[in-house]
Amino acid sequence: MSRRVVVTGVGLVCGLGIGTDEVWKNLLAGKSGVRTITHFDTTGFDCTIAGEVRDFDPLHWAEKKEIKKIGRFIQIALAATDFAVRMANLKVTPDIAESVGVYVASGIGGFDVIEREHSKLLQGGPGRISPFFIPAAIINLASGHISIRYGAKGPNSATATACSASAHAVGDSFRLIQHGDAEIMICGGSEAAITPMGVGGFAAMKALSTRNEEPERASRPFDAERDGFVIGEGAGILVLESLEYAERRGAPILAEITGYGMSGDAHHITAPAEDGDGAYRVMRAAIHDARIEPQQIGYVNAHGTSTPLGDAIETRAMKRVFTEHAKKIAVSSTKSMTGHLLGGAGGLEAGISVLALRDQSLPPTINQENPDPECDLDYVPNHTRKAALDYALSNSFGFGGTNAALLFKRWNSH
């Protein structure tokens, strides 16, 4: 019999704030974290807006001499982990170190470091490249730094499955605890790709919104006038524990994780299949894993990126999963407020789903002004709503046709 797994900590950092409480408060207020880009000069760029983490001071989480040795995605991951670990009242002591693991994902890793060091190479030759370049940029070093900082000696890994990466990290961590390979997992993801190459690359694909004059209204999932996603940065970190261990140490239990699904589209490098088959199968897999009926789910935190194709296809897939219940379920895309955190999105949105269950509050999809006939579900438009929720599903879909779905249950001790 596999073990029950609960969530005891959530750490959130994104364009809506630094810290779980601030992010959650701003989500429920329906605020947008999207502004004009300040990280670099956007002259000549088609897209000049993003969900930047503003006023982030890495000195709160790393010593000055360490900061240039770690990419921004690692700095933000350390911050989000601090919030999650504090919420969980977790102290990793030597006697439990081997049973505490870290599994923190990123889609791209240290893009800022790669660009900086490449510029040094072009200007001054290979002798100018920092000896810390590689460990500052590679994806698993967020997990590495967190493990070192907290003394966590259990499983240590990182996924790099594009925009599904941190949802896979949470789901894989759930499995590790279920199967007895760890008692506690610090898991999720982080991304900081608001750089010239990051923004320029997505813009070259015509994937980004160009509503540059109205940044706060640019991310508009499921709206008829959506024109692409808005890139965001940040991190979402969860502390997962076996129920037995969490209860033994008196940890605060926020929710239970009960289901995890994975699927592949086997269709196209960037576009989902028109019928949404991969999205349908991944939701179905998570529901099957939890051994519940689709009708028991009250809320879906949608992948909902604000792309014309993706939102319509996800809606189609939800109708197929939930059949007549689809019209009764509440669906929202918090990317309308945070932007799209790429590899960090699934961790952030898993955390948001847990808080929605804890507080029985549904964060809205803002900028829902012009209904799209193809997107005709209840997207919790523009205003937070109280609800009686037992289960929340969080969707994440990535380039290459990689999909993840996580299912959380409201905590009660019975």
* Domain-ending residue, one of 199, 214, 248: 248
The predicted model gives 5-31 an average pLDDT of 98
Which residues are marked as active site? Answer: 163, 303, 340
**Domain identity same for 404 and 343:** yes
**Domain identity same for 236 and 343:** no
Query: Which pLDDT score, from 0 to 100, does residue 2 have?
Result: 85
The predicted model gives 351-378 an average pLDDT of 97
**Domain identity same for 372 and 307:** yes
Residue 412 reports pLDDT greater than 90: no
Confidence band (pLDDT; 50, 70, 90) for 378? very high
The predicted model gives 84-107 an average pLDDT of 98
Contact between residue 155 and residue 101 where contact means Cβ atoms under 8 Å apart? yes
Q: Is the residue at 114 inside a domain?
A: yes
**Domain identity same for 14 and 55:** yes
Q: Is the residue at 256 inside a domain?
A: no
Which residues face 297 on adjacent strands? Answer: 391
**Domain identity same for 230 and 284:** no
**Domain identity same for 226 and 272:** no
As for how many domains the chain has, the answer is 2
**Domain identity same for 280 and 244:** no
Q: Is the residue at 237 inside a domain?
A: yes
Mean of the per-residue pLDDT values of the chain: 97
CATH number where 228 lies: 3.40.47.10
CA 96 vs CA 90, 93, 102, 185, 321: distances in Å: 11, 6, 14, 12, 41
Phi, psi of 339 (to 5 degrees): 75, 180
Whole-structure pTM value:
0.98
* Domain-ending residue, one of 218, 248, 278: 248
CA 49 vs CA 72, 211, 215, 304, 403: distances in Å: 19, 8, 6, 18, 27
**96/281 Cα distance (integer angstroms):** 37
Q: Other C-beta atoms within 10 Å of 293: how many? A: 10
* Domain-ending residue, one of 197, 227, 248: 248
- Per-residue pLDDT of 241-283, as tens digits, reads 999 999 999 999 999 999 999 999 999 999 998 899 999 999 9
Confidence band (pLDDT; 50, 70, 90) for 1? low
**Domain identity same for 237 and 289:** no
Q: Number of helices (H) and strands (E), helices first, in the chain?
A: 13, 15
**Domain identity same for 217 and 298:** no
**Domain identity same for 34 and 142:** yes
DSSP for residue 309 = H
Residue 135 reports pLDDT greater than 70: yes
Structural domain for 314, as ranges = 261-410
**Domain identity same for 227 and 270:** no
Residue 300 reports pLDDT greater than 80: yes
Query: Which pLDDT score, from 0 to 100, does residue 414 have?
Result: 53
**Domain identity same for 163 and 220:** yes
**376/353 Cα distance (integer angstroms):** 22
**388/391 Cα distance (integer angstroms):** 10
